[in-house]
Chain A
Amino acid sequence: QQPVQSPQAVILREGEDAVINCSSSKALYSVHWYRQKHGEAPIFLMILLKGGEQKGHDKISASFNEKKQQSSLYLTASQLSYSGTYFCGTTKNDYKLSFGAGTTVTVRA
């Protein structure tokens, strides 16, 4: 069961903030966030585990609402380097990482 991401795309000016949402209809064990630039491999940003432990990028934050099976990724004071497609991936305490369709972020000067 793939998670659902929203919005599909967002355009920002440098310094603006954005929120990307990820939701699942199934109980989740962990939520993973990756960023992929065109023609490149996805880069790990953040992992949020059931129970509240969070590990990842110090310039981008995220939250995980276990009751609602939702996660949000917060891009604060965006930089040009934040441009790319953001994917959330989810697991149900197994080894299969299911990815959403992605959110394309464009940051303009």
Chain B
Amino acid sequence: DAGVTQSPTHLIKTRGQQVTLRCSPKSGHDTVSWYQQALGQGPQFIFQYYEEEERQRGNFPDRFSGHQFPNYSSELNVNALLLGDSALYLCASSDPGQGPYEQYFGPGTRLTVT
């Protein structure tokens, strides 16, 4: 049973560019959440997708957008990249049948903005 997978593993971009990160949830999970984790800090909630809709959003600007596909996989898009966007981006999936908030994390995508 595959867990949460994310791609790519690492990414280097230049300020002002746009980036797309991808996530496939754990088998049987239909909810995907995205987090940004800066070095030495806890993950910060970006948003959550359920039934292809953004269900809740954290304190992130509109430069951060997402999408969920019918197969429950998800993308995170970041436009007009800033140096401060450099971080580990984590995707987590959950199954409402197991309790509303028990989340399983993927290995993350390390984004470096130069």
Contact = CB atoms under 8 A, between A and B. Distances in A.
A96 B41 contact: no
A41 B101 contact: no
A39 to B, nearest CB: 9
Given A41-B107, A94-B56, A47 B45 contact: no
A16 B48 CA distance: 39
Contacts of A96: 45, 48, 56, 58
A30 B105 CA distance: 18
B25 to A, nearest CB: 13
Contacts of B4: 41
Interface in B79-113: 90, 99-108
Closest 8 CB pairs of A and B: A99-B42, A41-B105, A95-B56, A42-B105, A95-B48, A96-B45, A41-B107, A99-B43
A2 interface: yes
B15 interface: no
Interface residues of B, number: 25
Interface of A: 2, 30, 32, 34, 40-44, 47, 49, 55, 87, 89, 91, 94-102
Interface of B: 4, 33, 35, 40-45, 48, 50, 55-56, 58, 90, 99-108
Contact of B103 (A44, A94, A101, A102): A44
Given A42-B90, A95-B55, A32 B45 contact: no
Name, among B42, B58, B108, the residue most crowded by chain A CB atoms within 10 Å (CB to CB). Answer: B42
Contacts of B105: 34, 41-44
Contact of B106 (A41, A89, A102): A41
B42 A2 contact: yes
Given A41-B107, A41-B108, A42-B90, A97 B102 contact: no
Contacts of A97: 33, 45, 101, 103
B104 A102 contact: no
A40 B107 contact: yes
B8 to A, nearest CB: 15
